[in-house]
Amino acid sequence: MENIINIDKLNKSYKVADIFDRIKGDKIKVGVNNVSFNVKKGEVFSVIGLNGAGKTTIMKSILGLIEPDSGKIEVFGRDKLKREDFYNIGYLPEISYYPKDIKLKTLIDFYGDLYNMSRKEKNKKIMESLEILGISSRINDKLEKFSKGMVQRVGIAQAIMNSPKLLLLDEPMSGLDPKGRIQIMELITKLKKEGTTIVLNTHILSDVEKIGDRIAIIHNGYVKDILDVNCDKLRKTGNHIITIANEYKEFQKNGEFYEKMVGNNEFNKILKKLIENNINIVSIKEEEVSLEKYFIDIIENDKTVGDK
């Protein structure tokens, strides 16, 4: 499958602005370190990590908003994005403020004008995107009346109004209520079906499991792992939970039955013993690991020098 984004050995560091940090000798703060990955056409690629892990730096580098120290980024097969490329890109920044005392119509109209659309096309696209996000009825309201979640929807509306081929969403669920989150997840699924490539920065891992295709785990500016949402690493640990009806050796009581977690290497041996001793086996389940557990394990076992 064709790659929409190729990132190769991306490095970016920032000069420390805080005077106290500088006195301590910290002059450079690492943004990202030797980051490499690619995003395939039509997939939902999620970048997950803690706050300050380097997710936004990657997104800004992709968009050419910041210049990397070294490394190569190709978007749509080009080293440097041209102005025309932005007709096919939608972007939602992590945080953005909009002038509060203007109407939603004025704001969204302005973004439509930046895409050089005809009035008819612009109005159609504006209404479509506002309707998808459930804010079309508020078009004549001033933004000062909008809640945080509503403002986030405005941000998403401006990101999708040009029907982009590549959509970059930085923390799109931020400030949304559960209904809003579901709406955005449905929107992402719909856009994916229509062929949009989506890069999603988030730390809400349950959402990623539902809508993502591949995941990059970022910690302290390093890519710790890139994995498929359905990969075995996430689903199977190799451990089994054996449940039996009666008390037997190290099996722990759990409700009316007895359970034991058995590692892959001893599974056959224990199973054989249970059969030999005529123990009534209720069930054998393979242990599944959630993305959250996998992510936390990676972060807790990370030996990278925390230079961020």
Partner 1 sequence: MKQLFSVAKFTVLQNISNKMFKGFAMFALFIILVIVSLKDIAIYESNTVIMDTGLALIEFFVLIMTIFISASQFIKDKNEKSIYLILTKPVSRGMYITGTIFGILAIIALNVFSLGMILMFVLLWQKWVFTKWFIYALIFIFIKLGILAFIGVMFSVLSYSIMSANIFTISIYVAAHGATYIRDFATKQTNVAVKWLFDIMYYVLPKYNILNYRDILSHEKLSYEPLTISIYVVSYALIILIITNLVFYKKKI
Binding stretches for partner 1 (CB under 8 A): 60, 63, 65-67, 83-84, 86-87, 89, 91, 93-99, 101-102, 106, 110-111, 113-116, 155, 158
Nearer to partner 1 among residue 103 and residue 203 (C-beta): 103
Report d(CA 224, CA 227) in Å as an integer.
10
Nearest to 6 by CA among 61, 66, 83: 61
Q: How far is the CB of 227 from partner 1 (least distance, A)?
A: 28
Nearest to 188 by CA among 208, 158, 162, 215: 208
Give the chain's length: 308
Q: How far is the CB of 297 from partner 1 (least distance, A)?
A: 34
Nearer to partner 1 among residue 219 and residue 221 (C-beta): 221
Q: How far is the CB of 81 from partner 1 (least distance, A)?
A: 9
Which tokens in the block code for residue 135?
């804010």
Report d(CA 235, CA 242) in Å as an integer.
18
Nearer to partner 1 among residue 96 and residue 277 (C-beta): 96
Q: How far is the CB of 63 from partner 1 (least distance, A)?
A: 5
Q: How far is the CB of 259 from partner 1 (least distance, A)?
A: 51
CB 207 within 8 A of CB 290: no
> What residues contact 66, with CB distance under 8 A and at least 6 apart?
12, 57, 60
Nearer to partner 1 among residue 49 and residue 155 (C-beta): 155
Nearer to partner 1 among residue 75 and residue 279 (C-beta): 75
Buried/exposed 137-147: b ≥16 CB within 10 Å, e otherwise? ebeeebbeebe
